[in-house]
Chain A
Amino acid sequence: MKAAIHLVKGVLDKLPLLEGVSPDAVRELATQSSVVRSARGEVIVRRGERVPGVYAIAFGTVKTRLPRPPGSEVVLGLLGAGTTFGKTAVMLGAPSQLDVVALGDTMLVAIRASCVLAMIERNLRFSRNLALALAERNQALLAELETGKLPSAQRLAAYLDSIAEPTAEPGRFAARLAVSKTLVAARLGIKKETLSRLLREFASDGLIEVSGRSIAIRDVGALRRIAASAPGAGAPA
């Protein structure tokens, strides 16, 4: 039992959500939290169900999705170690809007909802962190709402631009797909074949160079122009 608390505290200590919160308060929270393990494909939170608390990911990756009939889904986000989910549902005392599904073996720490709400009543540092996290989520969803309407080429270009990082060579960027192409396609709300076709087109237009999951971006300006273009205004369909 003692070992479990030690493990839980180790996970909580690294959370941006608890940054600057006193070690005593974190220790207290750890005693009220439990470890949850999920296997690949397991549904951790189901839409419409109450969430028992805020989950922190210790290791592994989860996807959040809007559930659809078998075979189709809309993946809204991919979350990895150090991130949390369930905050909105806990704040509102409402059922979850989303399914959360483990993409591989995942270890989570569940912080009881009542403890989270009690923290808000007495720890202003925690409230501030939570407010910033919710604000960030707000803006990400707003961007999603906006790009959700865009043609697939624009969505892909915007996505590649968002994950691109500068390389050692000045002015050069590269992106690495953290997950399979099937998942990237689902994340963008397009078919896998469409994703492959678009990647091929971008490559033959000299915008990118694809090698497995690594993508070298050869013309970041052109990519950004596609991402920002109005629908039907010259972007490949």
Chain B
Amino acid sequence: MSQNPCARIACTLALFRGVSERRVGTATRAARLVSLRSGDALVRRGGPLPGLCALTAGSLKLSVSARTRDERVLGLVAAGESFGEAAALRSMPAPFDAVAVSDAEVLAIPVDAVRLLLQRDTAFARNLLDRLAAEILRLLEGIEAGMLQRAPQRLASYLCTLAGAEGAGARRVSLPVSKTVVAGMLGVKKETLSRLLRDLSDRRLIAVSRREITILDRARLEGAR
């Protein structure tokens, strides 16, 4: 087993699945671990990304806010997931704020090492391509939701996503993050989110108890306007 703690951690990440331990070791030789307290920013939009990043513990939120005043959360990163691949590959500054929403640890792998590995390792190339493509899909969905759907629809489809693929019947979901962050993800003000939740529960589509939400009528929720 490698002596380098970064290599040990990297071996467990989806991005390095199928990559030999030796190559992971080489790629992470200059990598470093960054500890963040809840609320700390790893990087602000326009600042330099420390490389290709993966979250090894805690959770992190990616958002844009500089030009739009209202924060818009692009997504939440969970432990084991990587982020910033596109900007890192292109040596561009961070396109988002990356802020810890709980105490967190980030593995940062220098871009040069990533590029070298990309030139040598088929499994890594495939993993990276999968990540980039999945991210494109997610961005397209975000654009579509923002442009084409109204806020109530966005909330309804977000709740249905949380509830998973299952069909009818009451189902309980719990918001994975605070209502403020959920509001940011949906691109609405926190007060609007509260009003929308109240509205949906008045119509008996959901029942709300803090961060616990019971979906009472999935079919009508999916068609909610």
- Residue numbers of A with Cβ under 8 A of B are 66, 68, 74, 76, 87-88, 91-92, 94, 97-98, 120-122, 124, 127-128, 130-132, 134-139, 141-146, 148-150, 189, 228, 230-231
Contact = CB atoms under 8 A, between A and B. Distances in A.
B147 interface: yes
Interface residues of B, number: 40
A134 B146 contact: no
B135 A128 contact: no
Nearest to A138: B86
B106 interface: no
B122 interface: yes
Given A127-B126, A145-B74, A87 B133 contact: yes
Q: Which 5 A-B pairs have the closest CB atoms?
A: A138-B86, A127-B125, A91-B133, A134-B132, A135-B86
Contacts of A144: 139, 143
Interface in B112-126: 118-122, 125-126
B1 interface: no
B69 interface: yes
A158 B80 CA distance: 36
A98 B90 CA distance: 25
B207 interface: no
Nearest to B45: A146
Contacts of A141: 136, 139-140, 143
Contact of B147 (A97, A127, A148): A148
B129 interface: yes
B25 interface: no
A228 B67 contact: yes
B212 interface: no
Interface string B51-78: 0000000000000100111001010000
Contacts of B72: 145-146, 149
B48 interface: no
Given A135-B89, A149-B187, A66 B74 contact: no
Nearest to B145: A145
